Amino acid sequence: MIEVSDIVKSYSIGGQALKAVDHASFTVQQGEIISVIGHSGSGKTTLLSLVGGLTKPDSGKVIVDGTDIWSLDDNSRSHFRNRNMSFIYQFSSLIPTLTSLENILLPTAFGDFPGDVRAYAEELIERVGLKEKTNAYPSHLSGGQQRRIAIARAFINRPSVVLADEPTGDLDEEAEQDIIRLFSEMNSALKTTFIIVTHNKEIAGQAARQLSMSNGILTGAA
């Protein structure tokens, strides 16, 4: 469960304060899938990065599974993130010198992961339909294929929460539906909570609950 209360993040641009996220509050139950829709520059990526422990809010609280993540020190927060949360970034985030399989396994280098992680990585690569690209480097993959590898990587730690920033951004309709199906399977199997940021009204509409963002202000939150 995620409880966000009254978070604010401002950037100073040419001496002017810009409120990228302006007093946002919302709750996401464990196993819930919500979407956040909004125009470019409305603060969606900033919101995800505050919730995900990557950008510190100026004020407000983010509680994930009972842990107030911004009260932790940097090390504890990284550890918590690595064990419980995953990001699917808006832009390519694969390490160019690692193969698909190695990229998916990368998070496991930062902690003890239970079970046979390699076998699980291979299962995930199959789930995203890219078994034949197991040993390929990112530069030999299309944008959509890179995206699917990044999605597979997001599941390697069996996260309780997945924060997905335009996860289907550069995919065709069929691959897009495959990813949504994968999300929904992970959601049923592992009770994974999803926050999905998207411009795509159809994708947003498939979430159980839809929030929207405009000029840093979040609406539709319970």
Ligand X SMILES: Nc1ncnc2c1ncn2[C@@H]1O[C@H](COP(=O)(O)OP(=O)(O)OP(=O)(O)O)[C@@H](O)[C@H]1O
Where on the chain is the footprint of ligand X (CB under 6 A)? 11, 13, 18, 20, 38, 40-46, 90
**Interaction of residue 45 with Mg ion, rule CB under 5 A:** yes
Q: How far is the CB of 198 from ligand X (least distance, A)?
A: 9
Q: How far is the CB of 166 from Mg ion (least distance, A)?
A: 7
Q: How far is the CB of 10 from ligand X (least distance, A)?
A: 9
Q: Which residue lies nearer to ligand X by CB, 71 or 215?
A: 215
Q: How far is the CB of 196 from ligand X (least distance, A)?
A: 13
Q: Which residue lies nearer to ligand X by CB, 160 or 168?
A: 168
Q: Which helix (H) or strand (E) holds 82?
A: helix 74-84
Q: Which residue lies nearer to ligand X by CB, 3 or 22?
A: 22
Residue 36 to residue 20: CA distance in whole angstroms: 15
**Residue indicated by tokens 């959509």:** 144
Tell me the pairing of strands 2-13 and 59-64.
antiparallel
3-state class (DSSP) for residue 176: helix
Tokens read off for 193: 């909570």
Q: Which residue lies nearer to ligand X by CB, 19 or 158?
A: 19
Closest residue by beta carbon to Mg ion: 45
The DSSP code sequence of 5-65 is EEEEEEEEETTEEEEEEEEEEEEE-TT-EEEEEE-TTSSHHHHHHHHTTSS--SEEEEEET
Q: Which residue lies nearer to Mg ion by CB, 133 or 167?
A: 167
Region of 41-49, 64-72, 96-104, 107-115 interacting with Mg ion (CB under 5 A): 41-49
Q: How far is the CB of 36 from ligand X (least distance, A)?
A: 9
- Partner that binds at residue 92, options Mg ion, ligand X, none, CB closer than 5 to 8 Å by kind: none
* CA-closest candidate to residue 22, choices 33, 31, 32, 11: 11
Q: Which residue lies nearer to Mg ion by CB, 46 or 99?
A: 46
Site string for Mg ion, 69-98 (x = CB under 5 A): ---------------------x--------
- Partner that binds at residue 16, options ligand X, Mg ion, none, CB closer than 5 to 8 Å by kind: none
Are residues 36 and 197 in contact, defined by beta-carbon separation less than 8 angstroms? Answer: yes
- From residue 185, how far is each of 16, 68, 77, 191 by CA, in Å? 45, 28, 28, 9
Residue 145 to residue 131: CA distance in whole angstroms: 11
